[in-house]
Structure 1
Amino acid sequence: MALHDRVAKIRQELIQSGRPVVPLAYQGVTKDKIRQVLGALNLGELPDLVDTVFALLDDQSDSWFARPPVGARFCDGATTAHLGCHVGILQRAVGKLDREGRDYWIKPLRELGGIQAVTLVNKEFVAGHVRAKSGNSCYKLDEGLKEILKAPQDRWRSMLAEWASQDAARVRREFQAQVVEAARKLVDNGHSNLIRASIDVYAARFLPGYQVVYIDDGDGDRISAADRDRFRHAGIELRLEDAMPDVLLWNPETDKLWVIEAVTSDGEVDLHKVTQLQRLAQRSGKPGIDFTTTYRTWRQAAVRQAAHQNIAIGTYLWIHADPSKHFLIKGFN
């Protein structure tokens, strides 16, 4: 069944059941609130854009993809066709929006970073449009804009002013460009590519001031002469028995170390690895060492941790498909 027919059927079934076709608000956000926020960006007079943002807040409808991630909702990722049908059929009952008009109902906010590009790959939404002309290329709302839309009346304007500042917009565009490029390279799920993304995206974003001392990409000598020079420059005393991580970073200002383990099959930062590398840091006179385990997708992280539950307490977790945040693992005292 064609998408527009499926959506028309959904609408009819909702009407017959006596339920509203669309609620007055998704995630507590009304169309009037969307108009106010977009109005502050000089975009409030674009009704197609207002209704598209409303659609991208839809957490009550299951994903419209044929094979979506488990538990995925419409707001997790919607194609241009999905959005055109949501607005034109579900919300307005007049037929899907013309795809050629997407420059008016996607592009204005995408240029500001308010609508983010994502792609459904192996039942996971990953950042960026990683495959040209893919039917799985889709969109979601930026988390920062979503928080502004959900914020109280006395707070959203100040939050929007910060979000929409020229520097912030530039940073978002640059960061998204990095993510898209890295995501293209990661479609093959290569370990070396995840290591590179962990450096170029994660470390660049979350570990300012840290320099790469060592990368274990599995190619050539495990520790080269150039590596040893960098170890000496960073004041790291290396021994043959030391287990080296995928990435070792050093902050010249604080003299602290940071370890990244990029996991595609195994190798999380577990308690044994923490103990080993803490000994290296202490022997080298470093004031501290921190750790991050990185995965390509939430699904891969879930599969590994469901089986092993081995990430050490006090370390961090980063997911390349969800790149704008990292997580500190806490436990009971």
Structure 2
Amino acid sequence: MTSKIDETKIILEQIGMPKKQCTEISALTILAMASIKEQASWKLAENNWIRIHDIIQFVNNHYNKSYAENSRETFRKQAIHHFRIAGIIEDNGKATNSPNFRYRLTPEFLNTLKSFGSKNWENKISDFLSTHETLKSKYESKRILKKIPLTINDQDFQFSPGIHNELQKAIIEEFAPRFAQGAEVIYVGDTINKSLVLDKKRFEELNFSVIVHDKMPDVVLYHPQKNWLYFIEAVTSVGELSPKRIIEIEQMTEKCSAGNIFVTAFPDIKTYKKFAGSLAWETEVWLSELPEHMIHLNGDKFMGPRK
């Protein structure tokens, strides 16, 4: 009797997936996303929204595997990424770092999958393949529409979807023209691409030490006339400019001649209040819902560098 893993490999081959995506880990991913156990019928396949964590738990529990939590990137790179491109799975459009981010089988692929082993399989696979390129285009367009467009330094970019990147867009389009007029965007980290914008030449000119992405704030602006650096953190859930974060950034700029300005950006007052007690003194606060105003944690000094 053919195992469900082998059957899934056959399905992936017949819909035209490359050989490298017809592996055991790819098959297990599809089985978990379809919620199909070894003895289950394919007609019982489902396409509920699930996380990679759920995929790992399913294959460990029902296929006697022992994948650890740190295998998530392996599932993402070897299976999920390619399945999205092929238009056989989709995501729910949330930010990838959101706890609510999920994947599922596309309805078209689910419909095909449920017919495997039945007398309708040949017709179903033929129908699927006849529109497969159209489906791929459809889901590719769907992902593009979810992107957040913006212009940085006269170049067009796209942020991944999500509230965090919406706040970053507001920083660039609303904060910068009001409070950093004339400044250049020299660093922006997308939730997926941590260096969406990275002006290495400018950082070198400023004698900036090695850039450590997990210590960099979300947006860095530089004002050449004033020789000011604006370090701006977009906060929707974590990441405020606390005293510890300030020390980390100042260590990276200890040889830099520019003055440092630190700004924590929040989408609204409600979010700001959650973090008010942990913000560092001599920093600034900006709220995208009140874009024309600033909150200064600087005593009698308004916006200006700490050094």
Structure with larger Rg: 2
Return the TM-score normalized by structure 2. Answer: 0.42
